[in-house]
Chain A
């Protein structure tokens, strides 16, 4: 085998604009969804993904050729792309959908991402994205994309080490009851877990925000990509969860334990 130059990595980071995690959401009176006239921001898991991508470049320097962010969403999602660009991504793609269009489902998003990956002339080596969006809480898109591409996948990642020479990524995953380590061949789809104490997403500095305004954003539509984003599951209604009412307070431990006893909870005899 003749020696070949180390392939430079191209990283793609899909992100989503979602209702801010701190907002107390309200179901609309028509029960078709929630009131969306509230603060929105980047899905927190995606913020971790952008941060991770930027840190991969900080560690690997020139081995990372590009970090591209992509979003599929209404015109306002452009703000979310700018935030990611200000955090350190180089360029962005906005697959714009009408403001009134229903939210695309994970499968539609995965198909769109596949079409976008296939358009990248230099290819994509690492896709890093959030493990779930905090609005629909589906947690499917990354796995679906990995299936459609036939690529390796590492979900719920808490640590990512990319080795561009070996063309592998070692990923530590959060699993039920502990951690698991995988070695994935590139190209790979990684989904990030929030439980990463070390990964505080950076705040974009003002100069970086200014620079981000000049970074290129490519605009496309689902039709350009030949994708139908019509949901296949029918949302019949969205309702408030059953309300829990606080039962009031007690004055001391004895009263507390008496309440426990009432429902049959006592100490466990060794």
Chain B
């Protein structure tokens, strides 16, 4: 509570001196099956680091929204929670959702920043909204710093598949700063704050003749943890030979470790694993505690997706594979001998 009061006070002071307004972030909180996405909780942490007020936004169908709001209103760092429910929000079509954002952000909008996870939905929606408001957007940031005096925000973000880090500044001339957050760079916000935030319902903006229509979704079902947020990942490459071998070799190890399964692009392209398991520049970026790369050579595109992992273990027959240059522990061996042995010994 003290924090909120201080920021309020700051804002009043700032206003009276007619300098830049104190930051007020709008965080797009995504949810699935009644639970908030952990990547959105990381986005909330990033938004809190701006040092001002933070408002959350939950949109969805009338069936989903109430239970999500119950959870979201207790999130740490959130001063206000806005929610909007409509049957047309049951799938997040950018053409249907954008008008709600535009209404919220146009004319006398208190918001200085719009924040979301770097998720497939938010990546589709927010640039569309930013363009309509004639402001640039910053993608996939890994750190940020707001200068309250000048109203400018400085971000770092990876470019060239993570092979360079760019530091960019959005000055006060950009009235609303849009950015998406790399979830592995920020801890997820917790929900211990029992105080709760102020909850307000927003009328949905009806879009009558939307130019696109959702026909269906097929999600890859798995009992294992979700790749994007798993604390352990076991990943396989082309050396796994085929889809059957991929499964029969990697899945027991993943299960023995309680890990998610990932794959290199080579393994995905060869049809050994589903697209949604791909780790790399064109797939998912992960930063688990443990990343085990099995039969993966370590192309730069793959490294871009996993090199921020805490502990990288590589097993490869080729002692010169580039993966060994980043691996904390490497083992030059045939993975078909090593993996069953590991499974056996992990079970003991």
Interface residues of A (CB under 8 A from B): 19, 21-22, 24-25, 27, 34, 105-107, 110, 134-141, 143-148, 151-156, 158, 170, 173-185, 188, 193-195, 197, 232-241, 244, 246-257, 259-260, 263, 265-268
| A182 smallest CB distance to B (angstroms) | 5
Q: Give chain B residues whose Cβ lies under 8 Å from the Cβ of A263.
A: 289, 310-311
Proximity string of chain B (48-61) to chain A, C-beta cutoff 8 Å, 1 when within and 0 when not: 00000000000000
Tell me the bound Cα distance from A73 to B327 in angstroms: 38
Tell me the bound Cα distance from A241 to B161 in angstroms: 11
| A125 smallest CB distance to B (angstroms) | 13
Q: Give chain A residues whose Cβ lies under 8 Å from the Cβ of B318.
A: none
Tell me the bound Cα distance from A124 to B283 in angstroms: 30
Tell me the bound Cα distance from A267 to B255 in angstroms: 9
28 A-B pairs whose Cβ atoms sit less than 8 Å apart in the complex: A24-B163, A27-B164, A110-B131, A134-B160, A137-B139, A137-B157, A139-B127, A140-B127, A140-B130, A143-B94, A143-B125, A143-B131, A144-B128, A144-B131, A145-B131, A175-B120, A176-B276, A183-B212, A188-B211, A238-B166, A238-B167, A239-B164, A259-B313, A259-B328, A263-B289, A265-B257, A267-B345, A268-B258
Q: Give chain B residues whose Cβ lies under 8 Å from the Cβ of A195.
A: 265, 268-269, 275, 278, 282-283
- Report whether A234 and B169 are in contact in the complex, using a CB–CB cutoff of 8 Å: yes
Proximity string of chain B (271-291) to chain A, C-beta cutoff 8 Å, 1 when within and 0 when not: 100011010011100000110
Q: Give chain A residues whose Cβ lies under 8 Å from the Cβ of B5.
A: none
| B214 smallest CB distance to A (angstroms) | 6
- Report whether A146 and B327 are in contact in the complex, using a CB–CB cutoff of 8 Å: no
Chain B minimum-CB-distance residue to A151: B211
**Number of B residues with CB within 8 Å of any CB on chain A:** 98
- Report whether B328 and A177 are in contact in the complex, using a CB–CB cutoff of 8 Å: no
- Report whether B232 and A146 are in contact in the complex, using a CB–CB cutoff of 8 Å: no
- Report whether B132 and A147 are in contact in the complex, using a CB–CB cutoff of 8 Å: yes
Report the tally of A-B residue pairs with Cβ distances under 8 A: 260
- Report whether A232 and B173 are in contact in the complex, using a CB–CB cutoff of 8 Å: yes
- Report whether B163 and A179 are in contact in the complex, using a CB–CB cutoff of 8 Å: no
Q: Give chain B residues whose Cβ lies under 8 Å from the Cβ of A151.
A: 211
- B12 located at the interface, meaning its Cβ lies under 8 Å from any Cβ of chain A in the complex: no
- Report whether B158 and A254 are in contact in the complex, using a CB–CB cutoff of 8 Å: no
| B137 smallest CB distance to A (angstroms) | 6
- B62 located at the interface, meaning its Cβ lies under 8 Å from any Cβ of chain A in the complex: no
Q: Give chain A residues whose Cβ lies under 8 Å from the Cβ of B332.
A: 249
Given A134-B281, A155-B123, A156-B120, do A246 and B300 touch, yes or no (CB 8 Å)? no
Q: Give chain B residues whose Cβ lies under 8 Å from the Cβ of A134.
A: 160-161, 281
Tell me the bound Cα distance from A84 to B328 in angstroms: 43
Q: Give chain A residues whose Cβ lies under 8 Å from the Cβ of B228.
A: 176
Give the 7 A-B residue pairs with the shortest CB-CB distance, closest first: A267-B346, A144-B131, A152-B211, A268-B258, A147-B128, A178-B219, A143-B127
Tell me the bound Cα distance from A21 to B301 in angstroms: 8
- Report whether A246 and B326 are in contact in the complex, using a CB–CB cutoff of 8 Å: yes
- B330 located at the interface, meaning its Cβ lies under 8 Å from any Cβ of chain A in the complex: yes
Tell me the bound Cα distance from A265 to B327 in angstroms: 16
- Report whether A252 and B331 are in contact in the complex, using a CB–CB cutoff of 8 Å: yes
Chain B minimum-CB-distance residue to A110: B131
Query: Which among B211, B214, B311 has the greatest number of chain A C-beta atoms within 10 A?
Result: B211
Interface residues of B (CB under 8 A from A): 91, 93-95, 98, 119-121, 123-132, 134-140, 154, 157-171, 173-174, 211-220, 226, 228, 232, 255-258, 265, 268-269, 271, 275-276, 278, 281-283, 289-290, 300-301, 307, 310-313, 315, 319, 324-333, 338, 341-342, 345-348
- Report whether B127 and A144 are in contact in the complex, using a CB–CB cutoff of 8 Å: yes
Given A24-B163, A246-B325, do A182 and B219 touch, yes or no (CB 8 Å)? no
- Report whether A236 and B127 are in contact in the complex, using a CB–CB cutoff of 8 Å: no
- Report whether B217 and A137 are in contact in the complex, using a CB–CB cutoff of 8 Å: no
| A235 smallest CB distance to B (angstroms) | 5
- Report whether B331 and A34 are in contact in the complex, using a CB–CB cutoff of 8 Å: no
- Report whether A267 and B164 are in contact in the complex, using a CB–CB cutoff of 8 Å: no
Q: Give chain A residues whose Cβ lies under 8 Å from the Cβ of B158.
A: 137, 241
Q: Give chain B residues whose Cβ lies under 8 Å from the Cβ of A244.
A: 307, 312, 325-326
Tell me the bound Cα distance from A139 to B164 in angstroms: 17
Pick from A177, A183, A188: contact of B220, CB below 8 A: A177
- Report whether A232 and B136 are in contact in the complex, using a CB–CB cutoff of 8 Å: yes
Given A152-B95, A239-B165, do A184 and B331 touch, yes or no (CB 8 Å)? no
Q: Give chain B residues whose Cβ lies under 8 Å from the Cβ of A154.
A: 212
- Report whether A182 and B283 are in contact in the complex, using a CB–CB cutoff of 8 Å: no
| A29 smallest CB distance to B (angstroms) | 13
Pick from A143, A182, A251, A257: contact of B215, CB below 8 A: A182
Chain A minimum-CB-distance residue to B283: A195
Tell me the bound Cα distance from A223 to B258 in angstroms: 58
| A106 smallest CB distance to B (angstroms) | 7
Given A153-B128, A176-B119, do A241 and B164 touch, yes or no (CB 8 Å)? yes
Q: Give chain A residues whose Cβ lies under 8 Å from the Cβ of B127.
A: 106, 139-141, 143-144, 147
- Report whether B338 and A148 are in contact in the complex, using a CB–CB cutoff of 8 Å: no
| B331 smallest CB distance to A (angstroms) | 5
Q: Give chain B residues whose Cβ lies under 8 Å from the Cβ of A232.
A: 135-136, 170, 173-174
